Structure 1
């Protein structure tokens, strides 16, 4: 499936210092807002290190931010070919599909991933997909359905803090503050470390300014 390497790709593949230099240059370009230059560097890094999925994620996010949603989706789908149950790729691809007003298609796409997880008896991955589905229900204004989905997930695994966090967010947005406080209290009780939920939400949702600073409540 891999094409024959160009001399530059071959050089990068065998030269760790060159890779480090590219990474530094990439950081510089991103900090300076030089997105097109950054994209060129990321493409080189993807060619040199195809096994490093993070470069593909970065490429997809940058493509999306520069208005190339379809190209971004193609990259996410490429990641999902290799790993059909990649949480981040499924989540971010679903958000993009939803923003492109492909409401029914995004649910079908996620249902396909859920079917794979259930067929392979991957309980954690199946829960992850259902969490994404609940988030999409919320974005599609099916608020009660989303809340019900999170409640079911909480019943099935009361120790998973993510549904409490998400339900707290929804209640905050609906000004149901007492219920929000209860959910956030449960989330804090179950989650001594916050990074996991923050990672789940920050990359995409906070960029879309959906939740703002409600997490502090």
Structure 2
């Protein structure tokens, strides 16, 4: 989501003057970027735009090579290794992703995004989350002591998410409800509660939470697209659980 509305491609790419009204295709855009890069191999803006083109075209191996060049040019830029780790998850290389997230946490032990990715990678490796949950709780307490309130809230959302992944829906719901009481205009807990109620096949409760989410989330926010893209999958999973449960009862 961090790269969802990045304007780099639009800014860097401009059609040739003789054909200014014709939009470039993805292949043409990629070719133009590669030509510009050959003239200036250290142009970070062009590299970033090229990487985005490669990702959109699902040319993941090529995107990795561009991303490695960005990491080489900007070793202190935190976003590049974070993106690389998430690309490993997308590429089903969860062990490599976990290793990168752990490296990030060695440099910054309270980085929420790295913990979030680490939870995802560990879960995909079918390993228990208990030890990792304890680390997240410790990071939460450390942020409290430093008055990093935004990070504390993000960590609490992550703790609730771990509860969901463990199948502990009652505790997860309570955590989300507490977050709503503290900040009613944060749309994230409503979305999460709606998904849980959908999985529990409590349609009326789910619809209430989704309605609150829709009212609060900005129309152009990436969460809105996430919501639309994933609701079918959530409902499908809920129906699958229901069918499996009926089979057991039969």
TM-score, normalised to structure 1's length? 0.75
In the other structure, the counterpart of 2:234 is 211
Counterpart selection for 2:212 from 183, 186, 196: 186
Unaligned runs of 5+ in 2: 1-36, 238-250
Deviation at 1:21, TM superposition (A): 4.3
Deviation at 1:190, TM superposition (A): 3.3
Are 1:150 and 2:186 counterparts? Answer: no
The answer (yes or no) to whether the contact 1:98–1:106 under 8 Å persists in 2 is no
- For residues 92-107 of structure 1, what are the structure 2 equivalents within 5 Å? 92-100=117-125, 101-107=127-133
CA-atom RMSD, angstroms? Answer: 3.0
In terms of Rg, which structure is larger? 2
Partner SS state of residue 110, structure 1: helix
In the other structure, the counterpart of 1:68 is 93
In the other structure, the counterpart of 2:8 is none
- For residues 10-89 of structure 1, what are the structure 2 equivalents within 5 Å? 18-89=43-114
**Which segments of structure 1 move beyond 6 Å, counting only runs of 4 or more?**
none
Unaligned runs of 5+ in 1: 1-11
The answer (yes or no) to whether the contact 1:169–1:180 under 8 Å persists in 2 is yes
Equivalent-residue separation in structure 1 for 2:118 and 2:184 (angstroms): 28
Deviation at 1:213, TM superposition (A): 8.9
Distance 1:144 1:56, change over 3 A: same
Counterpart selection for 1:177 from 203, 212, 225: 203
Which moved further from structure 2: 165-174 or 21-30?
21-30
Equivalent-residue separation in structure 2 for 1:23 and 1:160 (angstroms): 31
Distance 1:135 1:16, change over 3 A: same
Partner SS state of residue 184, structure 2: coil
The answer (yes or no) to whether the contact 1:98–1:136 under 8 Å persists in 2 is no
Are 1:163 and 2:189 counterparts? Answer: yes
